[in-house]
Every structure is written in structure tokens, then in C-alpha cells.
Amino acid sequence: MKMKKQILTTTLIFLTSVIYGQTKTPTIESGIRIQHTEFIPYDYSRRVTDADPYWGIKVNKLRNNTKTINPFFLIYKNFEKGFSLEVDYSKIQIERANYDTDFILENQISRRKNYSINNERSDLKFNAYFHPNQQFSELFAFGLGIRKIDRIRNASDLNYSIEEKFISLGPQIVFKSKIPITEQLSFNLGIDLYHTQGKRHYNYSSLFYSPSDNYSYVETVKGNGNTIGIFRGFETNLSLKYNFLENFNIAIGYNYNYSYLKYENLNDFRYYSTSIYRTIEIQNTKYSNGKELIRGFFISASTVF
């Protein structure tokens, strides 16, 4: 009997905090996150995948691929009408990320250091949430959204230049929940399931000349203009949020954004010519798909007005 009373009391306290811990008047919350982020781009992931079937080749862990970024967000809440709107933007860029590749031949290991080209990705999303229960508005919400992913890989030097670019857009299904722990402290969970796609732009050119032996070559790779990049994935946010002075929030949390890039209609052409053969060689080139991961812990601060 005593145990039942304790459970009942705890339940009543929880429901009271849920009801009185939220306001019915429309509010706008704006904030920024400081996130220590690890970025594993798809070009590195597919090198790992491509090397797996071959004995004697091992691609080691990627280095120099972390950065502190500052995503920002804006949230409009109108619980009286049962909906909320959210805008969120993040961007990360890494340069000179590198990894070692081991080659095993005749019981000897040869190690080569490889540098990835510059990788940049930005995610802009706009979500509309429906709150089915006005009495427990923030306990559970779901909705639809639009996500825009801009994805760029590029590099240039004296002898070569390369750029691959996607501008993709698509829908997402979103869920979120705010679970009060105390009157000021809450646990927050958000999940986005997204599918975006967009046209791919790709160019590569390389030129080399050696005056000592009078040798030169020219190489160019051109995309066909019809290739599409498809990003399918999900993003999860977990955080503990503390409210103070009524209109201010601070939070600590973890962000995990996973996606898988798939090429459609990929049909690049490689043109290659040397001073020795003095012919133009044309080859059809294809790339494997690859997964992409952005993750990290963050601290955020926001204000409500």
C-alpha cells in the first residue's frame, strides 16, 4: 500500500510539472550551440569499403577530422493552436584530413599517408510540428519538414584541380519529446528521418610536365550533367536542458547525423593523353556509394521572448 502511494505521488508530481512547466501563450526561442564535431565524409568511408574485399590492404582511422562548429536555431511555439515551427542551420568544413593505408606484401608492411580533399557540408532544415494533446503539448510532437543539404568536395594545386558539388533538397519526418525531470530541468529528444536529392556537378583536371625527360600528360574527368546524388539518413539530438530566470535556457547534449550517399545516372568520362603515346584514351569511370557521419557533444544557450 505504501509503495502504491509513492508511485501515485510521483505520477502526480510528474503530471503537474508537465502541465505547469509549459506556457500557452505563443513564444519564440532563439539559440546557438557550441559543438565539438567529428566529420567522417563519404569519400573516406567508401575507400574503407572498397578496400575490405582485398587481402593485404588496410585503410586506417581518419585523423584531423574534428572541428568546433556553431549551429543556430529558431523555434516558434503556439500550444494554444497545437503547433510549433523550427528552423535549424549547421555547417562544417574540414581541411587536410588524413589517414594511413597499409599494404602487406611478402610479410612486409608498407604504409602510405593519404590526404583527403577539402570537405564541406551544410544542413538547413525547416520543420512544422503538430502537438496532438494540448494539455501535454511538449511531451510528444510529430510533423513534417524540408531539409537542404549543400555538399562540396574540392582541392587545387599547381598541377590539378577537382570539385564535386551537390545541392540537394527533400522531405523529412520529425519527432520530438520534452520530458520534465524537475520544474526547471528536462530531458529532450529529437529525431529527423530525411531523404534529399539534387544534381551533381563534377570536374577534375590534371596536367604534368617533366623537362628533364620531356614527358607530359593531361587528364580530364567530366560529369555527364545527369548524375543525381541522393542522401538518405537520420539525425538525433539528445539533451538535458535547464531553464532559469524564466526566459533563459542552457543545455548539454549529443548530436548524431548519419546519411548514405547514393549516385544515380553516374557516367563520368575520363580523357587521358601522354606525350609518349600521343593518343587520347577515353574511359568510363564510376564511384561506389558511401556513408557519411557527423557527430559530437554540444553546449547550447537560448532565450525565449
Q: What is the pLDDT of residue 27?
A: 94
SS (H, E, C) 194-263: EEEEEEEEEEEEEEEEECCCCEEEEEEEECCCCCEEEEEEEEEEEEEEEEECCCEEEEEEEEEEEEEEEE
Burial of 278 from C-beta contacts in 10 A (0-12 / 13-18 / 19+): exposed
Is residue 13 pLDDT above 50, yes or no? no
**pLDDT tens track for 192-226:** 999 999 999 999 899 887 777 777 888 888 888 89
Residue 19 pLDDT level (bands cut at 50, 70, 90): very low
Give dist(CA 229, CA 34) in Å, integer.
30
DSSP state of 107: T
Compute the average pLDDT of residues 65-88: 96
**Cα–chain-centroid distance for residue 95?**
16
Is-contact 88 69, C-beta < 8 A? no
Higher pLDDT, 14 or 98: 98
**pLDDT tens track for 247-277:** 999 999 999 999 999 999 988 888 888 877 6
Q: What is the pLDDT of residue 109?
A: 84
- The pTM (predicted TM-score) of the whole model is 0.87
Domain ranges of the chain: 2-304
Give dist(CA 285, CA 272) in Å, integer.
12
Give dist(CA 259, CA 246) in Å, integer.
37
Pairing of strands 98-105, 66-69: unpaired
| Alpha helices, H only, the chain | 2-20, 42-51
**pLDDT tens track for 102-158:** 988 777 888 899 999 999 999 999 999 999 987 778 899 999 999 999 999 999 887
CATH number of the structural domain 2-304: 2.40.128
Q: What is the pLDDT of residue 278?
A: 63
Pairing of strands 98-105, 108-115: antiparallel
